[in-house]
C-alpha cells in the first residue's frame, strides 16, 4: 500500500500549476566544496525562491487549487516563519484574503513582511494552544481555508517540485539531501525521487538538538518535537500524519548534525559561495561534512531551503 495519495501525476500537475508564479531557482556547484568533502555537490538555491524559501512552492500550489467558492473567503494559517510570508504572497497574487496568526513575540520584521504582502496579521499568545484556538476562531469567523504549513497533500506536492527541477537538470544523481522540520520538503523530495529517479537515495538532515524525525523513524511512530534546541529555527516542528509515512517508507535515513557543524557549514556557504542561506539550509551541508564517508565520490544534491535571516542573529563573526 502506498504511504500517500500523492501520485507522480500530482507532482507533475503541481509543477505546471505553479510554473508561472515561482522562480526556477539555479543549481550552483563549487570546486572548493567538492574538494573539501570528497564528493560532487549540487546546490539547489531555494534561498533565491520568492519570499526567500521553498515554502512558496507549496503555498502557491495549495492556493491555486482552491475552488471559486473557497477562494473568495481566503486562506488562513498560523506561522511565524517562511510559510506565513509564502501564503501571504500566494494569496495576494491570487487576489484573495490571507489571515495569518502569529505569536505576539514574533520578530517585528516578520510581522511587517507578512503585513506588507497585504495579509491580515492576527496576534496571539506564544503557545501552540493559543495559536490553534486563535486560528480556529479566525476560520470560523471568515470562512477562510486553513492551509497547514506541511501536513497537507497540496503543500507536499508543491514542495516536491523542487526536487523535480533538480532531476530535470542533474542526471544520475546518487543522493538527494533535504532538511527536515515538519517534513513537507523532505516527504515531497522523497516522493519525487521515488517516482522520477528511483536510484537516487534521499536523506533527511536534522539538527541533533531537534531530532524528533530521527527518533520517529527509529521508533516507527511520530514522536513530537519537545523543547527543541537548535539554531535552525525552521526545523523545530514535529512530523505530521501525511509526511511521516512517506518519510518512513522512502527516506533512506535521517542524519543528525550538531549546530556547531551547521554554523561552520553556513559560514562556508556565505564565504565561499557568496550567497545568504539561513541555518536550516546549512544543516544539509553539515550532514555531508559530518558523514563524509557515506557520500564519498558520489553525486549529491543539497536543497538550500531558504535565505531569510535576521542580521542581528548571524551566528559567526
Interface positions with a second copy (CB under 8 A): 26, 47-48, 52, 267, 270-271, 274-277, 307, 311-312, 314, 316-317
The whole-angstrom separation of Cα 128 and Cα 80 is 12
| Min separation Cβ 48 and a second copy, Å | 6
Q: 111 vs 201, which CB is nearer to a second copy?
A: 111
Q: 116 vs 126, which CB is nearer to a second copy?
A: 116
Q: 46 vs 152, which CB is nearer to a second copy?
A: 46
The whole-angstrom separation of Cα 276 and Cα 213 is 26
* Cα dihedral value 115, 116, 118, 120, nearest 10: 0
| Min separation Cβ 314 and a second copy, Å | 7
Q: What is residue 94's three-state secondary structure?
A: helix
| Min separation Cβ 85 and a second copy, Å | 13
| Min separation Cβ 27 and a second copy, Å | 12
Cα within 13 Å of Cα(190), Cβ side = 27
Q: 53 vs 87, which CB is nearer to a second copy?
A: 53
Q: 52 vs 74, which CB is nearer to a second copy?
A: 52
Q: 52 vs 204, which CB is nearer to a second copy?
A: 52
| Min separation Cβ 54 and a second copy, Å | 13
Q: 229 vs 271, which CB is nearer to a second copy?
A: 271
Q: 116 vs 143, which CB is nearer to a second copy?
A: 116
Q: Which residues have CB under 8 Å from 175's CB, separation 6+?
A: 200, 201, 202, 203, 295, 298, 299, 300, 301
| Min separation Cβ 8 and a second copy, Å | 31
The whole-angstrom separation of Cα 18 and Cα 21 is 5
Q: Which residue has the cell 564519498?
A: 296
The whole-angstrom separation of Cα 252 and Cα 250 is 6
Cα within 13 Å of Cα(201), Cβ side = 12
Q: Using an 8 Å Cβ cutoff, are 145 and 76 in contact?
A: yes
Q: What is residue 316's three-state secondary structure?
A: coil
| Min separation Cβ 23 and a second copy, Å | 11
Q: Which residues have CB under 8 Å from 184's CB, separation 6+?
A: 58, 149, 150, 151, 152, 155, 156, 159, 243
| Min separation Cβ 303 and a second copy, Å | 15
Q: Which residues have CB under 8 Å from 185's CB, separation 6+?
A: 54, 150, 159, 162, 178, 179, 303, 305
Amino acid at each position: 500500500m502506498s504511504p500517500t495519495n500523492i501520485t507522480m501525476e500530482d507532482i507533475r500537475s503541481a509543477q505546471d500549476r505553479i510554473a508561472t508564479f515561482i522562480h526556477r531557482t539555479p543549481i550552483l556547484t563549487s570546486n572548493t566544496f567538492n574538494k573539501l568533502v570528497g564528493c560532487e555537490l549540487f546546490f539547489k538555491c531555494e534561498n533565491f525562491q520568492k519570499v526567500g524559501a521553498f515554502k512558496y512552492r507549496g503555498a502557491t500550489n495549495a492556493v491555486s487549487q482552491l475552488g471559486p467558492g473557497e477562494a473568495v473567503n481566503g486562506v488562513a494559517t498560523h506561522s511565524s516563519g517562511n510559510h506565513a510570508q509564502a501564503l501571504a504572497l500566494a494569496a495576494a497574487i491570487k487576489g484573495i484574503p490571507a489571515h495569518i496568526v502569529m505569536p505576539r513575540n514574533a520578530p517585528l520584521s516578520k510581522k511587517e513582511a507578512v503585513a506588507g504582502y497585504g495579509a491580515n496579521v492576527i496576534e496571539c499568545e506564544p503557545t501552540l494552544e493559543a495559536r490553534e484556538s486563535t486560528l480556529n476562531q479566525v476560520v470560523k469567523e471568515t470562512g477562510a481555508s486553513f492551509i497547514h504549513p506541511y501536513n497537507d497533500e497540496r503543500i507536499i506536492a508543491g514542495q516536491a517540485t523542487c526536487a523535480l527541477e533538480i532531476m530535470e537538470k542533474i542526471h544520475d544523481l546518487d543522493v538527494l539531501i533535504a532538511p527536515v522540520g515538519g517534513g513537507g520538503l523532505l516527504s515531497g523530495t522523497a516522493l519525487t525521487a521515488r517516482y522520477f529517479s528511483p536510484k537516487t537515495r534521499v536523506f533527511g538532515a536534522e539538527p541533533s538538538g531537534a531530532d524528533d524525525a530521527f527518533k520517529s523513524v527509529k521508533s516507527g511512530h511520530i514522536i513530537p518535537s519537545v523543547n527543541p534546541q537548535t539554531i535552525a529555527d525552521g526545523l523545530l516542528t514535529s512530523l505530521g500524519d501525511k509526511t511521516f509515512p512517506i518519510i518512513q517508507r522512502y527516506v533512506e535515513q535521517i542524519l543528525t548534525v550538531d549546530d556547531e557543524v551547521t554554523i561552520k557549514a553556513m559560514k562556508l556557504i556565505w564565504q565561499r559561495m557568496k550567497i545568504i542561506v539561513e541555518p536550516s539550509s546549512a544543516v544539509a551541508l553539515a550532514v555531508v561534512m559530518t558523514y563524509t564517508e557515506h557520500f564519498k565520490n558520489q553525486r549529491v544534491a543539497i536543497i538550500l531551503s531558504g535565505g531569510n535571516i535576521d542580521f542581528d542573529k548571524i551566528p559567526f563573526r
